[in-house]
Structure 1
Amino acid sequence: MTSESIPPFSSLPIDKSGPPYNAWGLYGSENEKGRLNLITAENIKRGKDTITEGITINLNLPLDFLPVHASRLPLEHNIKCSGHSNDDILNFNTQGSTQWDGFRHYPYQNWPEEGKFTFYGGMDISEASNKEIKKYGVQNYSDKPITSIAHLIDIPLYLSKNNLPSIDSFSNSNPISLKIIKSCIKEFKINIKSGDILLIKTGFIESILSKSNLERNELKNRKKQGNQSCGIESSEEIWKWHWEKGISAVASDCPSYEAWPAPSNILSCHEIFLAGWGLPIGELFDLRELSKQCKKFNKWTFFFTSMGLNVPGGIATPPNAQAIL
């Protein structure tokens, strides 16, 4: 499916009995891949053709990265020695470090009525929380690897070059607007096509790593402030732009891709992207080295590969992601 064949945004919701802006059933009632269906062989070949420098760049924070959400526990790593060899035993939250959110992670809130929560395809909270049910799990990110041509939108670099105010990583009060995103794309001569992957750098990783563990714990326990963090704006024009560009997956270096928490008077990108469209959201991607190399070569488009954990029915997964320039 190309951008030309994507139904117009005005046609949403596809399932008229479902929640606002949903695309349920667009790829067939049994299809579980969501927007990953937009990644074609042509996207992958275009990605391969961007490789000019032969440089591979890790996009994953360590698994023992201190989680930014208070409810998520850090990695537990034990080594079992049998006398002649060693085994690793890991216990970790798949959303404690760099991650892809799966389609069973975040639902439409209070839809179709107060106290109801509806996930992609109409799955309810009891189904999404049942490990015996495998549908819409992150195994789909292995069956259809999140691998395509990708683009880096380096917001801090754009703001600095244009003498604009910098981002407060720990506030949701000034989200990144579509105007800023479009201006950045124009300045760095980025051309987004259907099936491409979008990475947005906010500078959050630099900000969080500048804090001590004590300071980071204090940040993630800001209950009165709602554990605020930076990100893109949640708005209809943002959703329309992502839809009509045919973007197949999004990721950022901040905790929620969108500024969090989203305003209470509007749906969140998590609701629209995950529960509505089946659009994978990547969070806490380490974009520091990628930013340096993109700036060095003035090259903002590259080949991106990701193969998540093949956990049937899984909620989220480390991405095991890299960029190849």
Structure 2
Amino acid sequence: MRNRRWKHRPEGSNWGDYGEDDQLGRLNLITAEKVLQGIAEVRDGKTFCLSLPLDHPGGCALNPNRHPPVLRPTLRQGGVNFNFRMGNLQPGGPDVVCDDLAILHLQYSTQWDSLAHVGALFDVDGNGVPRPVYYNGYAADEHIHGPQHPDDAGVQARMRSESTSQAGALGIERMAETGVQGRAALIDLHAHLGPARTLVGYDSLMRVLEADRVEIERGDIVCLHTGFADAVLAMGRQPDAKTLTERCAVLDGRDGKLLQWITDSELAAIAADNYAVEAYPAAGGDACCAALPLHQHCLFKLGVHLGELWHLGPLAAYLRRQARYRFFLTAPPLRLPGAVGSPLTPVATV
């Protein structure tokens, strides 16, 4: 198999399987039938908000490159457009209005990763020269553009009317356009492994699935409850990074059997309530190994979107009381063209 963007695809990848120009990856498996399966899981008509408040975790302890959101009023006729009395424009009018803007680090809190979030150096041309590429062979600088000067990046970036970076392919808007609705399955790692830091490989995961009689089927969205988001909330926007690195279950991205299960299960996407889904940086491996092997396997090879810092605690408790694990999930990101990640407010309906 060859493609105009690549002659060789990574071992174990599905590049080209959904079409030469595919930008959705495993979201292709969320068919109309899967949406109907999800709707069939709605029995009680009860909904759960699966997003943290977007000003959580608070500070920059979890990631020094990502900062809390900033809310500011817009300007109106040189003044502050907040509690603005419209009578200033139309004498005697009763209207009072507020209007604001947000400065967001798109992957600060509850988020989806787009397929342009993580790529790898890979010899797509078969000439012995690895190039930086992303899912389905979309190339850095050709399809995924970014600025070269620090003045055009970060919180101190020069104000411009146009964007300085652009995922011309694989942007988060591709995910948003699908609606991201379907059947989801919750795996309650916290219920079985407790609050301690636990590296979860294939064998551990299979024991949890067997104990709770959880079956993951083609096109399901998998949600992992570890208790991490609840720990973040309890810290009241003052997270203790050392404490959090010692808390809750994380997937072992170095476990080849676990990665193969992700491939074989044909799950559509993975969302977790923790930071990074997997242990970061991954333990072991040599100098040429990925620091985020599960990210590389999912985003780069398979086109499996990853969600992080979802608030799954209340939903997990409810499902456990009901002896259930499946639910209907609605989880579209922002339809922001060119972005490589996005905050969202996922909703579970049970």
Question: Which TM class, normalised by the smaller chain length?
Answer: 0.7 to 0.9
* SS of alignment partner, residue 289 of structure 1: helix
* SS of alignment partner, residue 187 of structure 2: strand
Q: Does 1:107 align with 2:101?
A: no
| Structure 2 equivalent of residue 129 of structure 1 | 145
- 2:70 is aligned, of 62, 70, 76, to 76
| Structure 1 equivalent of residue 179 of structure 2 | 145
* SS of alignment partner, residue 261 of structure 1: coil
Query: Displacement, 1:116?
Result: 4.7
Structure with max Cα Rg? 2
Query: Displacement, 1:152?
Result: 0.7
* SS of alignment partner, residue 89 of structure 1: strand
| Aligned residue runs from structure 1 range 17-96, under 5 A | 17-65=8-56, 66=58, 68-80=62-74, 81=81, 82-84=84-86, 85-96=97-108
1:202-228 per-position Cα deviation (integer Å, ceiling 9, x unaligned): 1212333344655536679xxxx9x99
Q: What RMSD, in angstroms, separates the aligned Cα atoms of the two structures?
A: 2.5
1:32-82 per-position Cα deviation (integer Å, ceiling 9, x unaligned): 111000111111111111111111000001111125211101100112325
Please give the alpha-carbon distance, in whole angstroms, between the structure 2 residues aligned to 1:70 and 1:271: 22
Is the alpha carbon distance of 1:124 and 1:159 closer, same or farther for their aligned partners in structure 2, counting shifts above 3 Å? same
| Aligned residue runs from structure 1 range 83-232, under 5 A | 83-84=85-86, 85-108=97-120, 110-112=121-123, 116-126=131-141, 127-130=143-146, 131-159=165-193, 166-168=195-197, 174-211=198-235, 213=237, 215-216=239-240, 230-232=249-251
83-92 or 284-293, larger mean C-alpha shift:
83-92
278-287 or 112-121, larger mean C-alpha shift:
112-121
Please give the alpha-carbon distance, in whole angstroms, between the structure 1 residues aligned to 2:17 and 2:266: 13
Task: Specify every segment of 5 or more residues in structure 2 that has no aligned partner in the other structure, as ranges.
Answer: 1-5, 75-80, 87-96, 147-164
77-86 or 180-189, larger mean C-alpha shift:
77-86
132-141 or 248-257, larger mean C-alpha shift:
132-141
What amino acid is aligned across from residue 123 of structure 1 in structure 2?
A: Y
Q: Does 1:237 align with 2:257?
A: yes
Query: Displacement, 1:270?
Result: 0.5
Is the alpha carbon distance of 1:89 and 1:152 closer, same or farther for their aligned partners in structure 2, counting shifts above 3 Å? same
Check conservation: 2:333, 2:343, Cα contact below 8 A: yes
Check conservation: 2:172, 2:340, Cα contact below 8 A: yes
Is the alpha carbon distance of 1:308 and 1:78 closer, same or farther for their aligned partners in structure 2, counting shifts above 3 Å? same
* SS of alignment partner, residue 37 of structure 1: helix
Q: TM-score, normalized by length of structure 2? A: 0.77
Check conservation: 1:147, 1:306, Cα contact below 8 A: yes
| Structure 2 equivalent of residue 290 of structure 1 | 315
205-214 or 286-295, larger mean C-alpha shift:
205-214
Q: TM-score, normalized by length of structure 1? A: 0.83
Check conservation: 1:274, 1:280, Cα contact below 8 A: yes
Check conservation: 2:193, 2:249, Cα contact below 8 A: no
| Structure 2 equivalent of residue 302 of structure 1 | 327
128-137 or 139-148, larger mean C-alpha shift:
128-137
How many residue pairs match? The answer is: 295
| Structure 2 equivalent of residue 280 of structure 1 | 305
- 2:282 is aligned, of 262, 266, 270, to 262
1:74-117 per-position Cα deviation (integer Å, ceiling 9, x unaligned): 10011232533111200011100000000111112x43489853
| Structure 2 equivalent of residue 3 of structure 1 | none
* SS of alignment partner, residue 241 of structure 1: helix
Please give the alpha-carbon distance, in whole angstroms, between the structure 2 residues aligned to 1:132 and 1:251: 24
* SS of alignment partner, residue 251 of structure 1: strand
Check conservation: 1:117, 1:125, Cα contact below 8 A: yes
